């Protein structure tokens, strides 16, 4: 079974378009918003630095295979018999007079300048470099996966904030229309009251209704400002940046696979799950490295130097050799092996926990999407019914066949239905994006474009 994404445009709603326009702002499409976020997000700067760190760690580990070349210049002065004897030999100045007992036991002070170039290299380093290189290479893959995970999360945040602006301004528009409707009712009922056609309680009820609509309008204006600030924050822009969001909240039909298929896809695509698997592999390498400490170590060394009474004179020499080292007893070696095994066990347990968490994430996201999809269907049906009910009740009230209470109830139901439709469409978009994020496929915004 394959995972298919399909989008079918049904019809736009005038209530859901045109409300997210800043007077002097710049046009902003969803694709542009994503591009800005990918360019400005501090989180992506963190992932770039993380990859650079992983590259540096790999280079550092691989450098363990290279020899070490050192230059040294040493100055020593003293009358220690052994030092004097050896220095004279190094300088090529040892003569018969130096065999005198007095010269051997109580030599005069001597200065020795020693210039040397030393080469050291591992021939067999218990395979520790191989372990470190393998772990560093895994670290590079983990850094790439972390970058992919952050980008998917950023795509989701942009979609949520971008359409959050649209829905906030759409609700603001609905609230504004409700206020206009309430003001129209107030004027009409006041005229009828002044003519003695209705009682004062009808006028007072209309005033209360209008006050409630105005409260909703005030609240929606604040929510729109918050939504604008949230989008600017996600995009990494100054919080008061004025933007004109040009997208539209349209009715769309998104197709997903079944729940079990989504779980399978999540365990295949989720970057954090792949990172957890790499963490297990890295710790397995750590266990191998700890075991390899029981092996011997073989090193090569070579030195070329010159010794003299000053920097311009002296005698040169060289030394070359190998050394084999085997630790007969290392008190911390067994402890390091136990620590590596514990880390491996911990990584495996964390991967298993993440597996369960991913399954839960998918189930939650899928069920929320199904709920949002069904609520959108109901909301679309209710709004037509509410509008027709409101029209009928208004006509009956004008004919004196019903009370103001029924009129106000119908108006409240119509405004609530419009608000619910706006919220349902937003939830439908965001819940589908959450499904894509939960399965590790929130990499393309094309399904959300108009």
Whether residues 96 and 139 fall in one domain: no
Q: For the chain, what is the mean pLDDT?
A: 85
Q: How confident is the model at residue 5 (pLDDT cuts 50, 70, 90)?
A: very low
pLDDT digits (tens, 9 = 90+) for 323-333: 999 998 888 88
Mean pLDDT of 294-318: 88
Whether residues 249 and 320 fall in one domain: no
Question: Is the residue at 2 inside a domain?
Answer: no
Find the CATH number of the domain harbouring 206.
1.20.1600.10
Tell me which of 307, 325, 343 is where a domain ends: 325
Whether residues 339 and 415 fall in one domain: yes
Whether residues 214 and 318 fall in one domain: no
pLDDT in the model for residue 450: 62
What is the domain extent for residue 108? 70-123+297-325
* Number of domains forming the structure of the chain: 2
Mean pLDDT of 87-104: 77
pLDDT in the model for residue 3: 41
Whether residues 160 and 187 fall in one domain: yes
Find the CATH number of the domain harbouring 310.
2.20.200
pLDDT in the model for residue 337: 92
Structure tokens belonging to residue 319? 């030394």
Spatial CA neighbour of 125 closest among 58, 62, 64: 64
CA distance 384 to 407: 17
Question: Is the residue at 3 inside a domain?
Answer: no
Question: Is the residue at 352 inside a domain?
Answer: yes
Whether residues 198 and 320 fall in one domain: no
Whether residues 104 and 221 fall in one domain: no
Whether residues 226 and 305 fall in one domain: no
Whether residues 41 and 134 fall in one domain: yes
Whether residues 274 and 413 fall in one domain: yes
Question: Is the residue at 399 inside a domain?
Answer: yes
Higher pLDDT, 435 or 95: 435
Question: Is the residue at 8 inside a domain?
Answer: no
Q: How confident is the model at residue 26 (pLDDT cuts 50, 70, 90)?
A: low
Question: Is the residue at 6 inside a domain?
Answer: no
Question: Is the residue at 140 inside a domain?
Answer: yes
pLDDT in the model for residue 428: 92
Question: Is the residue at 1 inside a domain?
Answer: no
Torsion of CA 369, 372, 378, 382, to 10 degrees: -160
Whether residues 284 and 157 fall in one domain: yes
Higher pLDDT, 279 or 386: 279
Whether residues 252 and 137 fall in one domain: yes
Q: How confident is the model at residue 4 (pLDDT cuts 50, 70, 90)?
A: very low
């Amino acid at each position: 079974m394959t995972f298919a994404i399909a989008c079918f445009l049904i019809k736009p709603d005038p209530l859901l378009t045109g409300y997210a326009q800043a007077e002097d702002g710049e046009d902003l499409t969803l694709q542009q918003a994503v591009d800005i976020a990918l360019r400005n997000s501090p989180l992506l700067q963190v992932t770039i630095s993380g990859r650079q760190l992983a590259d540096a760690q790999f280079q550092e580990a691989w450098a363990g295979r290279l020899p070490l070349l050192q230059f040294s210049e040493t100055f020593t002065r003293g009358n220690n018999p052994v030092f004097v004897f050896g220095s004279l030999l190094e300088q090529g100045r040892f003569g018969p007079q130096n065999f005198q007992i007095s010269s051997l036991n109580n030599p005069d002070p001597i200065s020795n300048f020693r210039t040397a170039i030393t080469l050291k290299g591992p021939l067999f380093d218990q395979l520790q470099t191989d372990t470190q290189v393998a772990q560093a290479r895994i670290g590079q893959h983990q850094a790439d996966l972390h970058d992919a995970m952050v980008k998917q999360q950023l795509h989701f945040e942009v979609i949520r904030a971008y359409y959050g602006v649209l829905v906030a301004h759409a609700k603001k528009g609905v609230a504004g229309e409700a206020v206009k409707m309430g003001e129209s009712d107030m004027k009409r009922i006041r005229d009828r009251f002044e003519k003695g056609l209705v009682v004062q309680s009808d006028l007072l009820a209309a005033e209360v209704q209008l006050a409630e609509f105005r409260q909703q309008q005030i609240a929606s204006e604040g929510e729109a400002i918050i939504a604008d600030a949230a989008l600017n924050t996600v995009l990494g822009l100054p919080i008061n940046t004025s933007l004109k969001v040009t997208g539209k909240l349209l009715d769309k039909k998104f197709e997903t696979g079944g729940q079990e298929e989504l779980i399978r896809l999540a365990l295949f695509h989720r970057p954090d799950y792949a990172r957890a698997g790499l963490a297990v592999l890295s710790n397995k390498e750590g266990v191998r490295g700890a075991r390899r400490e029981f092996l011997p170590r073989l090193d090569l060394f070579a030195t070329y130097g010159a010794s003299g009474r000053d920097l311009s004179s002296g005698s040169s020499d060289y030394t070359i050799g190998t050394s084999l080292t085997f630790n007969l007893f290392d008190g911390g070696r067994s402890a390091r092996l136990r620590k590596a095994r514990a880390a491996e066990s911990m990584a495996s347990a964390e991967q298993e926990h993440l597996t369960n968490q991913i399954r839960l994430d998918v189930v939650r996201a899928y069920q929320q999407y199904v709920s949002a999809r069904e609520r959108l269907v109901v909301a679309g049906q209710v709004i037509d019914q509410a509008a027709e009910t409101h029209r009928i009740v208004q006509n009956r009230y004008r004919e004196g066949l019903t009370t103001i209470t029924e009129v106000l109830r119908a108006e409240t139901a119509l405004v609530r239905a419009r608000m619910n439709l706006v919220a349902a469409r937003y939830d439908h978009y965001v819940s589908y994006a959450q499904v894509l994020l939960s399965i590790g496929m929130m990499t393309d915004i094309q399904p959300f474009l108009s």
